[in-house]
Structure 1
C-alpha cells in the first residue's frame, strides 16, 4: 500500500478535535501533582511523622510501575465496585455509559503526584540549610520560612523539570486509548480503522504531539525566564521585612 499524504491530513483534522481531551489528561494531573507532590516533598524534607516513612515506601513502588499498568489497575479498581453494584441492583447501563476519562485522570494524577514529588524534593534540597537557620534566627516559623523565603526560590528551580514532567504526561496520556478513551491518538486511529491507513494516522498523531510538546517547552522557557527575575529578590525582600 503506497503512502498517501492525503490520509495524513484527514487523520490530522480528525485528531485535532480531541486536543482538549489530551490537554485535560495532562494539565489536570500536573496541577494535582504540583499541589500534593509539593506537600509530600515538604513532609519528606522535614521527616514528618507517619507521612514521610509511608512516602518512602510507596514512592519507589509506584515509580517502578509503568504508566500503562497504573491505567489498567485503576480501571479495574474503580470499575469493579460499580460492576458489583450493577449486578446487585440490575444497573446494566452503569458500566457501559461510564466516562472513562475520569478514570484516566485519576490514574495519571496518581502517577504525576509521585513523579512531581521527586521533582519538588530535589528543588527543596537546592536551598541551603543556612537559609532555614537565618529564618529561624529572626523568629520565623517553619511554615513562614517555607512560604516567604524557601518556596519562592524552589519553584524557579523546579520549572524546567516541571516542564519535562508535563511533556512526559502529554506523551504518556496517549495510552488512554487502551481503555477506550478518545484522545488525539484514538481520534487519529478512528479514520485508520475505516481505510486501514495506520501509518498515516500514526504520523498525524505524532505531528500533533510534537506540536503540543514544542509549544509547552516554549511556554515553560518563558515562565522560567520570568521567574528568575524574582527568584532571589523576592526571598531577600521578605527576609529583610521580617528583620525590620
Structure 2
C-alpha cells in the first residue's frame, strides 16, 4: 500500500463542503442542549418537586447510554409516534417528509442537554450562596438574582467544561452519517469510494476535525481571558 499524498489534498478540498453541516449539527445541539441543561440543572439545584426527580432520571439515562443509541431511538421511534398521532387526529402529515438532519438535531440536543445540565450544575455550585442572599437583601426577585448574579458567574466558572462539551459534540456529530446525513465523516466515505482510498480520505477528515477543534480551543481561551478580566474589574 502506497500513501497517495495528492489524494489527501483532493479529499480535503472536497470535504470542505460538509463542514457547514457538521457545524450546524454541533451548534444546534449545543445551544438547544444548553437550554435544556440549564432548566434541568435549576430544577435539581433548587429541588423542584417532580421536575427534580424527572431531571435526575433523564440525566442518568442519557449519560448511561451511547449517543448512537439516542440517535437510533429517535430515528426509528419518532416517526412511529408522529405517524400514529397524525392518523389518530386525521392529519395528512407523514414522517417521511421530515429531513434526516432534524433527527440528528433532536437526538444530539437531548444528548447534549444531559451533559450540559451537569456542567451548569457544577457552575451553580461554584457560586457562593451568600451572593444569592445578598441579591435578595437589596430587593431582587429570585429570577432577577439568577439572571443577573448567579448564572453569569456560573457560566464563567463552567467555561472549560463547556469547551469540552462543545468539542465532544463536534466529534459526536460524525454519528449522523448513520441516518444518512452527509457530514464530514459521511463525505469522507463517499469520496473514498471513488477509488477505494479510504485511508487518505479519513486522514483528510481527521485534519479537518483537528483544525475545528483547535479553533474551538482558541475561542474558549479568549472567552476565559475576557471573563477573568471582567471579574477583576478590568477590560480586555
Same fold (TM over 0.5): yes
Partner of 1:217: 217
Deviation, 1:164, is: 0.8
CA distance in 2: counterparts of 1:200 and 1:71, whole angstroms: 28
Partner of 1:177: 177
Pair 1:9-2:9 in alignment: yes
* Mapping 1:221-240, distance limit 5 Å: 221-231=221-231, 233=233
Give yes or no for contact 1:86–1:94 (8 Å, CA) kept in 2: no
* Mapping 1:40-59, distance limit 5 Å: 40-59=40-59
Partner of 2:121: 121
Deviation, 1:189, is: 1.3
Partner of 2:18: 18
Partner of 2:166: 166
Give yes or no for contact 1:63–1:114 (8 Å, CA) kept in 2: yes
Deviation, 1:86, is: 11
Query: What TM-score, normalized by structure 2, do the two folds share?
Result: 0.90
CA distance in 2: counterparts of 1:82 and 1:138, whole angstroms: 49
Partner of 1:104: 104
Q: Which runs of 4+ in 1 moved over 4 A?
A: 81-87
Give yes or no for contact 1:71–1:108 (8 Å, CA) kept in 2: yes
Q: 1:194 is paired with a residue of what secondary structure?
A: coil
Query: What TM-score, normalized by structure 1, do the two folds share?
Result: 0.87
Give yes or no for contact 2:79–2:95 (8 Å, CA) kept in 1: no
Pair 1:134-2:134 in alignment: yes
Partner of 2:154: 154
Equivalent residues, number: 231
Give yes or no for contact 1:9–1:204 (8 Å, CA) kept in 2: yes
Where relative contact order (Cα < 8 A, 6+ residues apart) is larger, the structure is: 1
Pair 1:37-2:37 in alignment: yes
Deviation, 1:83, is: 6.5
Aligned Cα root-mean-square deviation (Å): 2.4
Show structure 2 runs of 5+ residues with no match.
none
Give yes or no for contact 1:153–1:232 (8 Å, CA) kept in 2: no
